[in-house]
Structure 1
Amino acid sequence: MSEKSLLTKKTVVLPLTLLCCLLWGSAFPCIKLGYGYSQISSADTYSQIFYAGLRFTLAGIFAVIIGSLVAGRPLLPKKTSLTKVFALSLFQTVLQYTFFYIGLARSTGMKSSVITASNVFLSIIVASLVFRTEKLTVRKIAGCIVGFSGVVLINLGGIGGGFRITGEGFVFLSALSYAFSAALTKRFSAKEDPVMLSGWQFIFGGVGMTAFGAALGGCMPVVNPSGVFMLIYLAIVSAAAFSIWSTLLKHNPVSTVSVFGFMNPVFGVILSFVLLSERSAAGPIKVTAALILVAAGIIIVNFPRKNRVF
């Protein structure tokens, strides 16, 4: 069985996407724990960018090394690939995670994980209307409306301090940046190794964010074993999840893969509750209702047509 046919099988795509979502879901509370271990305050924007830069530089190094070992050759970008790597780095790392790290520090892990679920619908809209690689159907539009209603619900009533542009707003902009990166990954990986693209865009983006943060006074105020362990774990999360996700995007439509991202908020909410005890951030009924709406929207988007298995 060829790699392409294997990576389009539902029995393969489903567990791999769930693994990615579990890893990404764990990032919500772990980033906050990492801030605590390193004593980075929610107002210290440049240290947050510096921290993110270190994480993604390490993630890129891990991805390139492991990918090279698996491929049996060094995964180095060709000169003609550099513009693709830089473009992907801008949206997938620099913009997405600059907005995400700053926004997450000013919001709760639960709210951020649900708002981030909007990247599923934004990915479909961007792929359909901007890149025109998929058709925007009535079914997909209906799914987007239902799913976004869950995102709106979690922000009603002043939960966790209400809505702030530099908090929840930045988390949403992070989701929008991801949508563009997903479409670019789909396009670029048609002729490029997706693990190479993922690894090197992390390295370029990570180094740039680290340098920018450091130049403006950002740092890790405290370096200890717990903080270092958390930084390495977050780097592994990015290296593994994005490499797998990018490979799946290469062989499947953007909507087919991205639609499983509804598990990000599920895992994010559960792990934020377990690791951060964010019990008072939002009532369980409202969080559950929001997640149900998000999941329902994605089911509508991906509802199989008659005589289609997947």
Structure 2
Amino acid sequence: MSLRDRLLALLVALLWGLNFPATEIALWQFPPILMVSLRWALLAIPAILFVPRPQVKLRWLVGTGLGIGVLQFGFVYVGMAAGMPSGLAGLALQSSAPFTMLLAGIFLREKISARQVTGIGVAVLGLAAIVAYRAQVAALLPVILTLAGGLGWAIGNICSRQARAPKPLHLTMWMSVIPPVPMALLSLVLEGPRRIGSTFTTLTTWHAWTAVLALLYIVIFAGLIAYGIWNTLLARNPSSQVAPFSMLMPAFGVASAWIALGEGMSTVEIVAGVAVICGVLYASRPVKKAPTVTPVVDEGREVSVPGE
């Protein structure tokens, strides 16, 4: 990856990190499955009206929408509503990076270097230490749901990579067309008309508008802008190089949750978080190219000389 792409990936990690406290605030007002539907509907309407359909195969468009829009956000929002702290949610969701690398190796035959294996291994150990520590104060089910969201994200990453959209922003907008209707129907069945109705009839309070502003951040910054950049990076770089940057998100997520919501950080979390960051940075370092060899002719004999 170029330096520019690495900086863009870092920006995405920041936007996604801030997404977690924003999600917790939005869940004060909106039930989780309904919020998934609303989140994507706010992008789907302008996409249908103003954005040309991306020139990709339908199965990859649907796969990206189902993986990211339905599975990732559905599991994560339900997990957070069930008691998953926003900082821990950002950490557990980083399971998407090793899931992506594993799926890319199996289905796309992408080569994983020893450096990437080592770096991701260190990051995974750091995540495991944080999850094990925080799981002591959180129920097991929310953790499992968030890990399932990480798998959904990995599936979406692979489909986005296979789509190779000429204009990734169009893919970002049009994948939002997939989740709203099925998630709205699921919300109607599981969350019920009464809860959905009370969500909209109480929007006049300041508390509710704080949640609305948080939802708008999720849609515009963590959704449209961040996923537009992410899909662009996936379109021009191997998945195994892009995916590790998502593991930097916990540092921003835990810090922002601490600032905005008062969620504390222990020494174990800080040390393990540093291990995650170091592992990702090591895995994403470019491989040094071997020096080229230039043949030169010396008195009729060909001699190999290191390239200039």
- The TM-score with structure 1 as length reference comes to 0.82
State the shift of 1:64 in Å.
6.5
Gaps of 5+ in 1: 1-7, 41-46, 69-73
The match for 1:293 among 262, 268, 275 is 275
Aligned to 2:22: 30
User: Whole-Å Cα distance in 2 between the matches of residues 169 and 234 of structure 1?
Assistant: 23
Q: 1:102 is matched by which residue type in structure 2?
A: V
Alignment check: 8 A CA contact 1:99 1:170 kept: yes
Gaps of 5+ in 2: 291-308
User: Whole-Å Cα distance in 2 between the matches of residues 158 and 25 of structure 1?
Assistant: 18
User: Whole-Å Cα distance in 1 between the matches of residues 184 and 136 of structure 2?
Assistant: 30
State the shift of 1:302 in Å.
2.1
Alignment check: 8 A CA contact 1:124 1:255 kept: yes
State the shift of 1:178 in Å.
1.0
The match for 1:141 among 75, 97, 117 is 117
Residue 150 (structure 1) aligned with residue 121 (structure 2): no
Alignment check: 8 A CA contact 2:248 2:280 kept: no
Residue 57 (structure 1) aligned with residue 41 (structure 2): yes
Change (3 A) 1:182 1:225: same
- The TM-score with structure 2 as length reference comes to 0.82
State the shift of 1:186 in Å.
1.0
How many residue pairs were aligned? 278
Change (3 A) 1:304 1:266: same
Q: 1:197 is matched by which residue type in structure 2?
A: L
| 1:188-199 map, 5 Å | 188-189=163-164, 192-199=166-173
CA RMSD of aligned residues (A): 2.3
Tell me the percent identity. 26
Runs of 4+ in 1 over 6 A off after TM superposition: none
Change (3 A) 1:149 1:62: farther
Q: 1:180 is matched by which residue type in structure 2?
A: I
Change (3 A) 1:59 1:286: farther
User: Whole-Å Cα distance in 2 between the matches of residues 99 and 110 of structure 1?
Assistant: 16
Residue 16 (structure 1) aligned with residue 8 (structure 2): yes
Report the more deviating stretch, 252-261 or 92-101: 252-261
Aligned to 1:3: none
Q: 2:13 is matched by which residue type in structure 1?
A: C
The match for 2:142 among 167, 171, 177 is 167
Aligned to 2:157: 182
Aligned to 1:303: 285
Rg (Cα) greater in structure: 2
Aligned to 1:266: 251
